[in-house]
Every structure is written in C-alpha cells, then in structure tokens.
C-alpha cells in the first residue's frame, strides 16, 4: 500500500497547470505558512538549527541564535564551524571532513561562547527535500539545543550542600583525632612539671618528654592547618602565573622526601610557558598534595613524571607514578572528605585539591590501576579568549 501524498506534494505536482494568478496565490499561502512556522519555532525555548549539506546554517530560531551568539540578521551562509566550533566538533564537523554525519548524535557538553553554558545537543540527519532528482541529494542536519545550565547549577548546589554535611562529619572526626595528641601532650607536660617541682637532675627524661611534646604539637598543627583549609576556603588571588615555575617550587619543597627515597622527578613541557590565571600559593598546595601522594605510593629509586601541554581550551598537567595504584572501589571515593587508605592520612588532601581546581575553573581526574600506578590530570582554563564572531559575509563564508 502506497503512502498518501501530503497536500503540499499534491499542489507541487500541479505547478505546471497553474496560471499566473493561482501561482501567486500559492506563493502567498506558502509564505504565510512559513511565517507561522517561524513564529511557532521562535517561541520554543530550545534552540533549533538546520544545516545544509555543507554544514552552513540555513535556519535558526531566536533561541538557537542566542545560544551560539549569532545576531538577528545573521543566519544564512554562516558556517556552524565558524559560529559555534564546539558544537560543530561535537556532531562530527570539521577536521577536514566533508558533508555531515549520517547518524543521530546526542551530547551533553559545556560551551564557552558567547557565555559559559551547559547544553544538550540532539542532532538528526535530514535529506534535502528540494534537491533536484537528477542531482545527488545532500544530507543536512537538524539540531535541537537545550540549555541545561540551570539544572546543572542546581545539581552543583545540591552537591555543595552534601559537601557541607560531609564537612560536618569531618569536623567530628577531626575533633576525635585531636584528642589523642592533646592527651599525650598533657601527660608529658605533667611529667615535666613534676620534674621541675622536685628539682630533679634527671634532665634526660625531661628532654625526651619535651621532644615528645614538640612532635605532638607539630602533628596537631598539621591536622588543624589541613582542617582550616578544608572548611575555610580562601578566594583565589588570581594572577598570571607560569605553572612550570609553581611545580618547580613545589618539587623543591619536597626535596628532602625525594632524596630520602632516591626518587627522581622528570618534567616534560609541551609548551615553554604554560600560563594560567591562578593563585600560586593555592596551586602549590595542589601539587604539594599530589606529589606527596605519589612519593608515598612508589618504592625507593623510582620515578615520578610530570607532563604539561595545551589542549583546545585548557592547559593540562599530568603527574604520573608507577606505584601501588588505587583500587576501583577506592578510586570513586578519593575526593570524599576524611576518606583515606593511609595509616597516617587524614583524608583531606584530595578534597582540598578538588576544591582549589574547581575554584580555578578547572578540573582534576584520576586514572589508576592496582600494581601499575596512577595518573592525576589537572586541567586549567587557558588565558586566550575566543575570537569574536565575524560579521556574516556570504562571499567569505562560501566553501
């Protein structure tokens, strides 16, 4: 059974039989219907883009133009790769590819132009219905773009609320942890006091008690310092800094630990000066914690490798060790407060790393395998800003 033809197909099939008056009436009717459809599409909250076979935008509704940063008078003959390269690459355009993709694509992604947004992209291939029969039909794309920024922010707020609850649990754990050194200090101070009261000449015993007190105070100070950094995050003092310089300073701080285990650190820079906007002291804390973890994970006479380079929108740093690695179960918990697999760990270090990276607009990822080692990847936004969209110029945009 053959599918019935649409009213438009029937009308188009009788074009040769229409006189000039009826043809004019038909054109006006089609124009009104097109205008009605455009009005309907413009009130839709999702962005709608239609690309031709070359990847040029042949139609965009108001929300679609807003999302990708087009002006009201910019639509036809604008390449999506020029107007919104992040979206274009997400659906498979660019990189020397001709034509468009032949499958449905769904992506959730972050775009930076014209402003930071989180979007969901749904791209479907469509045939050029008005292509002449004797010509090869081109495949275009219909793209639906949903702005999910508010949902994403709301989710992050809920996550932050959960983090506050975790920090409250952390506070209880820290209070318990503080009790042991305080009790030890109290006992040894009492010994010192008795020795002084009795004016004993046994100074060796007093010296040992004093050393114990000093060690316990230092341990207590370390616990408090980490705890305060976790619950009182400071606003970063953003300045243009060279990440390699920050890493070198941090490695110097770890010099004694590295020397004690005969660990060698090698650095490979994909760019001479990986510049980012950041707080150098906070980023030192990031590298201090990660390199410290790597030192503890590997054996003596091993190596830690630090790689840096550039991605499309990020400067990245990878800290690689071939140590004990992290199990899958533990890997999912490394950023949780007060979670640690170390006998002497406090479980705050990686939580601080995650917070600092988030405050710098970056992210941290961990790949690890038990017995093989760990790769920690830090990504920082690049300083370079996306160039402004060129005014629509059919001649310049023609491929």
Question: Two tokens at 363?
Answer: 């992210």
Work out the burial of residue 63: count CB atoms within 10 Å of its CB; fewer than 13 is exposed, 13-18 middle, 19 or more buried. Answer: buried
How far is CA 84 from each of CA 55, 78, 122, 376, rounded to the nearest angstrom? Answer: 11, 10, 15, 31
CA neighbours within 13 Å on the CB side: how many for 144? 11
| Chain Cα centroid distance, residue 98 | 30
Going residue by residue through the chain (399 aa), what tens digit of pLDDT does each one get?
455 555 555 555 566 666 777 777 777 777 787 777 777 777 788 888 988 888 888 888 888 888 888 887 766 678 888 888 888 888 888 654 444 455 778 888 888 888 888 888 888 888 754 444 445 456 688 999 988 887 776 666 666 666 666 666 666 566 667 766 777 777 777 777 677 666 555 666 776 777 777 777 777 776 666 666 655 667 888 999 999 999 999 998 888 889 989 999 999 988 778 889 999 989 998 999 899 999 988 988 899 999 999 887 889 999 999 998 888 778 777 877 666 666 555 567 788 888 889 889 898 988 888 888 999 999 999 864 333 333 333 333 433
- Rounded Cα distance, 258 and 262, in Å: 6
Q: The dihedral of CA 143, 146, 147, 148: what is its sign?
A: negative
Amino acid 153: pLDDT? 67
Cβ-count burial 355-387 (b if 16+ within 10 Å, e if not): bbbebbbbebebebeeeebbbbbbbbbbeeeee
Contacts of 380 (CB under 8 A, 6+ apart): 243, 276, 278, 314, 315, 316, 317, 360, 361, 362
pTM of the predicted structure, to 2 decimals: 0.46
Nearest to 308 by CA among 210, 395, 242: 242
Please report the domains of the chain, with CATH numbers, ordered by start residue: 44-147 (3.30.450.20), 149-232 (1.10.287), 235-384 (3.30.565.10)
Amino acid 317: pLDDT? 94
Amino acid 231: pLDDT? 58
Question: Two tokens at 247?
Answer: 């890493």
- Rounded Cα distance, 61 and 98, in Å: 25
Question: Two tokens at 111?
Answer: 């775009």
| Residue the block writes with tokens 């969209």 | 389
- Rounded Cα distance, 335 and 348, in Å: 8
Amino acid 138: pLDDT? 61
Question: Two tokens at 376?
Answer: 């920690």
Amino acid 391: pLDDT? 35
* Contact indicator for 331, 322 with CB cutoff of 8 Å: no
Amino acid 226: pLDDT? 63
Q: What is the DSSP letter of 77?
A: T
- Rounded Cα distance, 338 and 173, in Å: 8
- Rounded Cα distance, 354 and 348, in Å: 10
Amino acid 211: pLDDT? 77
């Amino acid at each position: 059974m053959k599918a019935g033809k649409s009213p438009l197909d029937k009308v188009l099939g009788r074009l040769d039989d229409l006189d000039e008056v009826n043809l004019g009436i038909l054109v006006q009717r089609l124009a009104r219907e097109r205008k009605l459809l455009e009005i309907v599409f413009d009130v839709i909250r999702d962005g709608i883009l239609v690309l031709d076979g070359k990847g040029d935008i042949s139609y965009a509704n108001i929300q679609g133009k807003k999302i990708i940063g087009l002006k009201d008078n910019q639509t036809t003959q604008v390449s999506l790769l020029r107007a919104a390269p992040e979206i274009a690459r997400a659906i498979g355009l660019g990189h020397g590819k001709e034509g468009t993709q032949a499958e449905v694509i769904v992506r959730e992604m972050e775009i930076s132009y014209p402003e930071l947004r989180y979007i969901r992209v749904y791209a479907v291939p469509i045939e050029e219905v008005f292509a002449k029969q004797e010509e090869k039909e081109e495949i275009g794309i219909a793209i639906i773009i949903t702005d999910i920024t508010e949902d994403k922010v709301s989710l992050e707020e809920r996550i932050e609320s959960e983090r506050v609850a975790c920090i409250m649990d952390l506070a209880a754990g820290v209070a318990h942890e503080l009790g042991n050194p305080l009790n030890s200090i109290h006992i040894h101070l009492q010994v010192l006091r008795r020795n002084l009261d009795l004016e004993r000449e046994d100074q060796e015993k007093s010296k040992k008690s004093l050393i114990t007190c000093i060690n316990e105070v230092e341990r207590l100070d370390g616990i408090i310092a980490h705890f305060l950094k976790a619950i009182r995050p400071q606003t970063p003092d953003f300045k243009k800094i060279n990440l390699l310089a920050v890493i070198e300073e941090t490695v110097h701080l770890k010099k004694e630990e590295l020397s004690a285990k005969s660990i060698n650190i090698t650095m490979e820079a994909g760019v001479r000066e990986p510049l980012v906007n950041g707080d150098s002291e906070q980023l030192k804390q990031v590298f201090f914690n990660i390199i410290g973890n790597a030192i503890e994970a590997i054996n003596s006479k091993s190596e830690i490798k630090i790689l840096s380079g550039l991605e499309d929108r990020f400067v990245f740093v990878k800290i690689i060790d071939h140590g004990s690695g992290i199990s899958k179960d533990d890997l999912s918990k490394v950023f949780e407060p007060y979670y640690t697999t170390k006998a002497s760990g406090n479980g705050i270090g990686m939580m601080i790393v995650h917070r600092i990276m988030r405050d710098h607009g970056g992210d941290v990822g961990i790949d690890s395998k038990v017995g093989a080692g760990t790769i920690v990847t830090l990504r920082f936004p690049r300083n370079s800003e996306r160039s402004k969209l060129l005014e629509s110029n059919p001649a310049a945009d023609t491929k």
